[in-house]
């Protein structure tokens, strides 16, 4: 039996380099007169960089997110791609990217923005942030830290295949928890500055950073250190999801499949009894309609709040036009990217699906990822209905079916479509649907919604042109955007027929 001393040494050894690296700046301040404000800024930048980098790492996390994961800062439960199966390898020298991880990576962008706002507000109480961030040594150190983090990811996460043992939730949740814990503790910075100046702030910051690193080393412990260490990436998440229970024959013939390697004889699988591809134009149109009619308003307002808060925090009152335009361009780009990710999530989930019938089973097969997504016996399909509240289906003559499959813990709400041959789907899949015709919408309510939206748009435009006070300012309109969109959207939803 190994000695206690050996066990202790094995546990402490991984922490020693971290301890030395974090104590060296403190020694430099006390012994050699380094500027503590510069080092505090460098520490904050290092923590801030860890958040977006975690988003990139999450794309490669091989373990699926646990369905019973604990509540945290990152929540993507309702995202379109979380249940997506399969992966794609973009280049040979990188691990495969899992589409199901995209929502976790996208959620990190918002967390990074809010960390920037809160951290800036906290540190601006003590330091002159514009002058501090303009120092060449701070910028050089930030680039060096970013390069160091990239090297660490390349060697340990990619090279040592660390991505195989973690889930995307564990990858993104841990740095976000630690970053906002530092912001919370940073509320005491004005008091520390009064008591001991910049040295006291640096001592506390170094101590907190060491505590965070130590909590990661002791991640098996319960309590607060366990929470800071983040969710377990290898114990809570299963190595793979339960395979889809599907009959042989729902796999495309592939040249790289070795006969006998997967239990088959290497022959081409039999063709399905019936197959129906999704109407991809209808999928894209539905994704755009769903996003632009509601989530986009919240993205625009949220990024506008971040932009205003960042400018107020990191500028000293005099705002050069170049900085205002440059930061606005960055924020607009991030906002458009967030909207694009939301649209792409719906498209990636449905556009590549092909619905197949094999004997007594239906299989939803992703032709891009070469992976079945779900399967269900025909005799368990129930509560089948034609979806009538999708405008693209009406405009493009497509149909979407909503149904329930499975029983008990296996019960799921499923969607088949949009498809161009709804009668063929009903016949081939034995769907208990009387008709695939869509009932007409209430044109009076639809017209009222359009008139209401036009009236709001004209009123907003007139206020921007004629009124110069706060009510007519573009930012105020942006802040009210979700409420301005909600009213006509709610009226429009009433124009669709009531579900049976």
| Residue with token string 């435009």 | 461
DSSP state of 159: I
User: Which candidate, 442, 391, 383, places its Cα nearest to that of 415?
Assistant: 383
pLDDT tens across the length of the chain (500 residues): 444 444 444 444 555 666 666 666 667 666 666 677 777 777 778 888 888 899 999 999 999 887 655 556 666 666 778 889 999 999 989 999 999 999 888 888 777 877 877 777 777 777 777 777 777 877 787 788 788 888 888 888 999 899 999 889 888 888 888 787 777 777 777 777 777 776 777 777 777 777 776 766 555 445 555 555 556 555 455 556 666 765 554 455 444 333 333 334 445 556 899 999 999 999 999 999 999 998 999 999 988 888 888 777 766 666 667 777 888 888 888 889 889 999 999 999 999 999 999 999 999 999 999 999 999 999 999 999 999 999 999 999 999 999 999 888 889 999 999 999 999 999 999 999 989 999 999 999 999 999 999 999 888 887 777 765 554 477 788 888 999 999 999 999 999 998 76
Residue 59 CA to residue 313 CA, distance in Å, equals 32
Nearest Cα neighbor of 52 from 133, 114, 121, 138 is 114
Contacting residues for 334 by C-beta, under 8 A, at least 6 apart: 109, 113, 303
Both tokens assigned to 490: 């709610």
DSSP string, 263-312: SS-SPPPPPPSEEEE--HHHHHHHHHHHHHTTHHHHHHHHHHHHHHHHHH
Q: What is the pLDDT of residue 431?
A: 95
What sign does the dihedral 297-330-74-159 (CA atoms) show? Answer: positive
Query: Sheet holding 371-377: strands in order across?
Result: 274-277, 353-358, 361-366, 371-377
Domain map (residue ranges) of the chain? 10-229, 272-438, 443-493
Predicted model pTM:
0.80
CB atoms within 10 A of CB 364: 22
């Amino acid at each position: 039996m190994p000695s206690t001393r050996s066990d202790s040494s094995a546990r402490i050894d991984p922490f020693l380099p971290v301890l030395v690296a974090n104590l060296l700046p403190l020694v430099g301040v006390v012994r050699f007169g380094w500027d503590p404000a510069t080092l505090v800024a460098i520490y904050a930048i290092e923590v801030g960089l860890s958040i977006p980098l975690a988003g990139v790492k999450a794309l490669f996390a091989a373990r699926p997110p646990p369905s019973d994961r604990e509540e945290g800062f990152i929540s993507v439960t309702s995202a379109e791609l979380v249940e997506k199966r399969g992966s794609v390898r973009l280049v040979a020298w990188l691990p495969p990217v899992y589409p199901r991880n995209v929502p976790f990576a996208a959620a990190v962008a918002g967390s990074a923005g809010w960390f920037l706002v809160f951290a800036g507000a906290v540190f601006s109480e003590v330091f002159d942030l514009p002058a501090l961030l303009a120092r060449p040594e701070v910028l050089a150190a930030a680039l060096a830290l970013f390069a160091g983090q990239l090297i660490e990811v390349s060697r340990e996460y990619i090279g040592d295949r660390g991505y195989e043992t973690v889930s995307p939730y564990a990858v993104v949740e841990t740095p976000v928890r630690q970053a906002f814990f530092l912001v919370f503790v940073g509320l005491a910075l004005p008091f520390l500055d009064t008591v001991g100046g910049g040295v006291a702030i640096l001592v506390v910051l170094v101590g907190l950073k060491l505590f965070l690193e130590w909590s990661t080393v002791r991640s098996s412990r319960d309590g607060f250190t366990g929470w800071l260490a983040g969710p377990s990436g290898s114990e809570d998440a299963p190595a793979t999801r339960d395979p889809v229970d599907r009959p042989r024959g729902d796999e495309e013939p592939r040249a790289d499949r070795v006969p006998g390697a997967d239990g088959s004889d290497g022959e081409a699988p039999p063709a399905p009894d019936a197959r129906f591809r999704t109407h991809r134009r209808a999928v894209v149109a539905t994704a755009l309609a769903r996003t632009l009619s509601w989530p986009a308003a919240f993205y625009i307002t949220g990024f506008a709040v971040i932009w205003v808060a960042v400018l107020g925090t990191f500028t000293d009152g005099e705002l050069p036009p170049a900085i205002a335009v440059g930061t606005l361009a960055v924020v607009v780009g991030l906002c458009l990217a967030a909207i694009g990710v939301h649209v792409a999530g719906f498209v990636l989930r449905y556009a590549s699906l092909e619905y197949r019938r094999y004997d007594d089973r239906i299989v939803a097969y992703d032709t891009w990822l070469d992976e079945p997504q779900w399967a269900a016996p025909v005799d368990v399909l129930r509560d089948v209905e034609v979806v009538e509240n999708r405008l693209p289906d009406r405009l493009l003559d497509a149909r979407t079916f909503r149904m329930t499959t499975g029983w008990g813990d296996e019960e799921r709400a499923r969607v088949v479509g949009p498809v161009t041959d709804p009668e063929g789907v009903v016949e081939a899949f034995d769907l208990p649907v009387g008709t695939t015709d869509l009932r007409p919408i209430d044109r009076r309510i639809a017209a009222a919604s359009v008139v209401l939206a036009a009236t709001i748009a004209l009123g907003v435009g007139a206020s921007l042109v004629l009124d110069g006070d706060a009510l007519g300012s573009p930012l105020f309109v942006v802040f009210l955007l979700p409420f301005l969109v909600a009213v006509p959207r709610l009226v429009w939803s009433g124009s669709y027929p009531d579900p049976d």
